[in-house]
Amino acid sequence: MKPVLTNLSKITECLAFMNLPISTYNSVDFSFIKLHELGINLPFHSPTFRPDFYNLFIIVDACGSYYIGDKEFELSSKKIIISRPESFSSSYWTKIQKVYAISFRKSFLLQYFPAGIDTVLELGGENGYTYDLTEKSMKYFEQTCQEIYDLSLSTMAYKDELIANLILNLLFLMQLHQNSDSNLKLESEKQTTIVSAFRQNMENNFSRLIRGEDTSIMRTKEHSRLLNFNENHLSKVISNCTGKTINEWINEKLIDEIKYLLKHSDKSMKEIAALFAFNDLNYFCSYFKTQTLNAPNALRKEFNNGKKNQNYV
């Protein structure tokens, strides 16, 4: 049985759907949960969401898998994993001894740190990022989580600002690790902002397509108009900073979305094609095969055959 595919995106909506506690420190902008204290029946496969928030897991001791778009990440002890908004995501847990889950929207950080956070939230141009911690680093991250938790329960007047500062501290530490293998080579804060705005608009467009609120995929012309830039200038900035053209970003995102639905949903080929404004099913199949060297129905069959022995809860 495949995980339930939802159209929920808000933090409180996702928590409520999983019957997880929504307390005074869970809001539309921020949530902190100690997964190991919830009494979750294992193995546990979460529903599939398309959140409008970042998810940060600090995994002290656990096992499982985390799915962000078409990519699968291992959930294991002494590991950090973060995912960007506007991508299909779900998690599969077989062990939860100690795991902290921090969810936050960009607006939560912008309230207190209006400048300079785009770089740290870019995640090297990826929808998800993970790395292993040393014993010393794990203790520091865990200590910071406890500080966030204590603040979230307090009645301090400036607790949200302090929480945002602690989250940013963790993100900056992750960025230091990430810079060594990042694909993004941003030359200035202004270019960082342009790349971030383009990616956010692209992801918003795909989310609206999924919800049936948009009828076409935005390309260079539409992105340039939305950002009020000349097409050539925007194309040059994106290409120089990321090493990929605008169309490459869009096509990779499109294929990622299609692959996820083929693998993790029961939607028909025609339904998936229609979601992404393909009016001709034959053209949809031809486009997918050109981009992946594999037919969509063959990919679905191959994935289902490989997963037929996995138990989903």
Q: What is the pLDDT of residues 83-92, one digit of tens each?
A: 999 999 999 9
* CA dist., res. 185 & res. 179, Å (int): 9
Taking residues 293-306, what's their average pLDDT?
A: 93
pTM (predicted TM-score): 0.87
Cβ-in-10-Å burial (0-12, 13-18, 19+) of 13 comes to middle
pLDDT band with cut points at 50, 70 and 90 for residue 108? very high
Which residue matches tokens 């795909």? 206
- Whether 33 and 42 have beta carbons less than 8 Å apart is answered as no
* Residues 61 and 35: beta-carbon distance below 8 Å: no
Q: List the beta bridge partners of residue 75.
A: 64
Amino acid identity of 214? D
CA distances from 241 to 127, 175, 234 (A): 17, 17, 11
Region of 86 please: left (phi>0), alpha (psi -120 to 50) or beta: left
Q: In whole angstroms, what is the distance from residue 288 CA to residue 279 CA?
A: 14
- What would the mean pLDDT of 60-65 be, rounded to a whole number? 97
Lowest mean pLDDT across 74-78, 170-174, 295-299: 170-174
Q: Given this model, what pLDDT does residue 136 score?
A: 92
> What is the average pLDDT across 180-206?
75
Distance, CA of 215 to CA of 278 (rounded, Å):
10
Distance, in Å, from the CA atom of 22 to the CA atom of 221, rounded to the nearest integer, reads 42
The kind and range of the H/E element at 63 are strand 54-68
C-alpha distances in angstroms, 156 versus 25, 27, 109, 174?
12, 17, 18, 28
Residues 6+ apart with CB under 8 A from 27: 11, 12
One-letter amino acid for residue 170 of the chain: L
Which pair of tokens denotes residue 87? 């991508």
pLDDT band at residue 308, thresholds of 50, 70 and 90? low
**68 three-class SS:** strand
pLDDT over 60 (residue 307): yes
- 180 DSSP assignment: G
